[in-house]
A and B are shown apart, each in its own frame.
Chain A
Amino acid sequence: MQRKMTSRKGIIPIIAVLLMAALSVAASGLYYAEVTKVVANPAPQDVVVTDILLSKHYGYAYFSISMMSNTPSDLVFQVSVIGEDGAIAWTIPNVLLPAKGEHVATASGSSGSDFFVGKTYIVKIEGDINMAYSVECTGVEVSSGKIFLLAINGITGDFTEGLPSSIVPQHIESATNFNAIAEETLWFAGATKSKFQSLFDLSDKCGCVTNWSYYGWLSGQPVNFNITYDSSQNTLYYTIDDKTITTMPDAGFTDLYIRGRVDGRGSMYVTVDNLEFNGETIDEMINTTNYDVLWLRGADTSGDFTLTGCVTLTWSGTGGNWGMNLDIIGGTAVEGGEYEVETSIAPIPSMQGALDTAERLGSPITLVTTLEQWDAILANPPLGAIVVNPFGGAVPASSWAVEDEASAESYIRMLSEMVRTYSWTWVHLGGYPFSSVTNGTDTVDVGNDGAEWFFDVSRINAHGRGIESLEENLLTDDDGVSLNHFLSVTGNEALPGNLWFDYGIVLPSSETPDTKFTFYMNPGGVSQAGAMSFYLGAGYYVHWGAPIYTQGHSDGSQVSDYDSASYALMVALYTVMR
């Protein structure tokens, strides 16, 4: 009896020990699960950015970022550098930071015009952890002044669409802005990966699907797409990878948009890159975790066309409802009217010449495409701006300045004040300077008075026509900043020795404006200069008299408006640099 009782009592501690052991194992399991989850979910302090470098050499730029990880798992980031205009200058996708390791991501190329030396730029790091840093740009540049090119749509046409062989892609980063710009959306070529769907499809203007096919999207895997429009058959061919579907789209589309959208929680990216339209490379991409539209401004959709690119849909750790969507949209855009204004020179090639030269020299340039944008600049003038007017004698202005001659005079005097006060450089590309003021609809012609108001002198004009010689003293300065040296280090060819100018400026015998440089001068000793820069208060006026030939009249090779604008911007930047 005694033994039996002892035996029963002996079982209880054994059961207790077993229970405790079981609890211990269970707790260890829970602990391990918790630890695993935390390890797979890195904290911000587990990633350190050890070094960032941004440097430019005129038009070339280089960026590098060094990162170190203290986590036991690999991490993937996307690193973006924000350029001077607030848009992404560089994106480095899929930066793999190995477990407990280091990585240096780099980017380089012709992006010098996105940065100013001495200014700081934001570096955005997105992924499992978000971070933001700023880095100062170092290196060499021509000018610290931003160039504003007056490419106002509505004056002699829509320039952004008319620039030769150029599509000017424009990002639209909200649905509100897209709805304001896209007047009509007439067809959609979609690609969808969501919790419930994996497909690509074609839809009509109502958004109703007209054709579709299943496609098994794989996370992070780039897939080529092709949109081809056969205008004779009014048929749209949409190919993803090796699958093609077709539709007959609603007519009337003039513009192409590429829209990436992400909905729901979790880490998701829509990336579209390697874009080409009719064989022309589009140097822009979409890489969004939210919403981004790329408007292919200037893409000619009036006939047959082919748009190709590469789409990557990336997702991880999604829960609940989620989805990613790419749409290529054919539609129309709200645009200003088109009017014809006498400009003396051809604005479109002039703009392209200025644009390409600025990019080559690494000078940030902003296209001012609306008068509202121009008014905003005048209302809040930036210091040291370089304003290029490609309309020859016509000066773009808002309606208030084109009411009558008095309003035109007020406007031109205001521009002069901007130059004097805010150290602007006004670059004139040809024609009689300030001889008319226009908003595209109404024009006030003021003749020679315009230049006199601008210079605030009683007599000046620009009707000198003839051969002018490049000033030798500018070429041979031996202090390291001669014109030849400047052109050489910036990768440009020497300026022609002689040019036949159409609009040489004729200086008055009295009240002569202060000259900074004479680039081309009449060899006969006449007070006439084809290209000259003047001091105007704290700024400059650069006169470029629109040369036609490289020698005497019809004697040499022709100078295109493209080359003329390129030369003009170079001498303007040389003026500012020295």
Chain B
Amino acid sequence: MYPIVSATMNKPTYAASISQANLLKQGAYVLMTANVKNIGSGDLNAYCVIMDEALNEYQCQGESRFLVPGEHAAFVFESKTDGSSFMVGMSYKIRVYDTQHGLLNEVTIFCNGR
């Protein structure tokens, strides 16, 4: 209800939450999953990245996702070869961007696996 009222009465806000994010590694294979929700009042073209220790960004598969307020999307980054860029037990940042409004949110998760 709030996003609709907010959108009607105010200038749109652009925000996203990240929930149930996981980073798992298995040798050279690495998998990151994240679920992003539009918690603002304006539409988003959201995309998701994970950053390694050298701050290289690895973009999740697919292009940006169009999300209306309240809508969520599931993102995945998967690679058979980039496992060496992530160390089990270390923490890494996941960022959600909007193609027009830039960085929306950032969370830190631990890398698990072997």
Contact = CB atoms under 8 A, between A and B. Distances in A.
Interface string A237-272: 000000000000000000000000011111000000
A289 B29 contact: no
Interface stretch (A30-38, A495-503, A525-533): A30-38
B22 A262 contact: no
Interface in B65-114: 65-66, 70-76, 78, 80, 83, 112-114
Given A34-B4, A130-B35, A265 B63 contact: yes
Contacts of A86: 26-29, 80, 83
Contacts of A289: 61-62, 76
Contacts of B15: none
Contacts of B1: 30-31, 34
A405 B113 CA distance: 44
B22 A131 contact: yes
B114 A82 contact: no
Contacts, number: 94
A30 B4 contact: yes
Contact of B19 (A30, A44, A87, A125): A44
Nearest to B112: A134
Contact of B66 (A120, A130, A319): A319
Majority-rule SS of A interface residues: mixed
A126 B76 contact: yes
Contacts of B29: 82, 86, 122
A319 to B, nearest CB: 5
B34 interface: yes
Contacts of B32: 132
A121 B19 CA distance: 22
Contacts of B114: 119-120
A122 B31 contact: yes
A43 B37 contact: yes
B70 A130 contact: no
Given A122-B26, A290-B61, A319-B66, A128 B31 contact: no
Given A41-B70, A126-B76, A263 B112 contact: no
B33 to A, nearest CB: 4
A359 interface: no
B26 A124 contact: no
A252 to B, nearest CB: 30
A130 B76 contact: yes
Interface residues of A, number: 37
Contacts of B34: 130
Given A120-B113, A122-B24, A122-B113, A43 B63 contact: no
Interface in A30-76: 30-31, 34, 37-38, 41, 43-45
A36 to B, nearest CB: 11
B76 A265 contact: no
B113 A134 contact: yes
A109 B61 CA distance: 30
B5 to A, nearest CB: 8
B65 A131 contact: no
Contacts of B80: 86-87, 173
B66 to A, nearest CB: 5
A128 B71 contact: no
Contact of B74 (A119, A121, A128, A320): A128
A132 B31 contact: yes
B24 A130 contact: no
A129 B62 contact: no
Contacts of B22: 131-133
A173 B77 CA distance: 13
Contacts of B4: 30, 34
Contacts of A45: 19-20
Contacts of A82: 26, 29, 31
Contact of B33 (A31, A37, A131): A131
Interface in A112-140: 119-122, 124-134
Contact of A41 (B23, B24, B71, B75): B71
Contacts of A30: 1, 4
B33 A132 contact: yes
A41 B67 CA distance: 11
A49 to B, nearest CB: 11
Contact of A124 (B28, B31, B113): B31
Contacts of A129: 20, 35, 74
Nearest to B38: A41
A265 B66 contact: yes
A121 B70 CA distance: 34
B35 A265 contact: no
Interface in B1-59: 1, 4, 19-20, 22-24, 26-29, 31-35, 37
Nearest to B46: A265
A128 B36 CA distance: 11
Nearest to B45: A265
B1 to A, nearest CB: 5
A266 B74 CA distance: 10
- CB-CB nearest 9 A-B residue pairs: A86-B29, A130-B74, A44-B20, A130-B33, A132-B22, A290-B61, A132-B33, A86-B80, A265-B65
Given A128-B74, A265-B62, A265-B66, 11 more contacts: A37-B71, A86-B28, A119-B114, A120-B26, A122-B29, A129-B20, A131-B20, A134-B112, A262-B62, A265-B65, A289-B62
Interface of A: 30-31, 34, 37-38, 41, 43-45, 82, 86-87, 119-122, 124-134, 173, 262-266, 289-290, 319-320
16 contacts: A31-B1, A34-B1, A34-B4, A34-B70, A38-B70, A43-B37, A86-B26, A126-B74, A130-B35, A132-B31, A262-B62, A264-B63, A265-B65, A289-B62, A289-B76, A290-B62
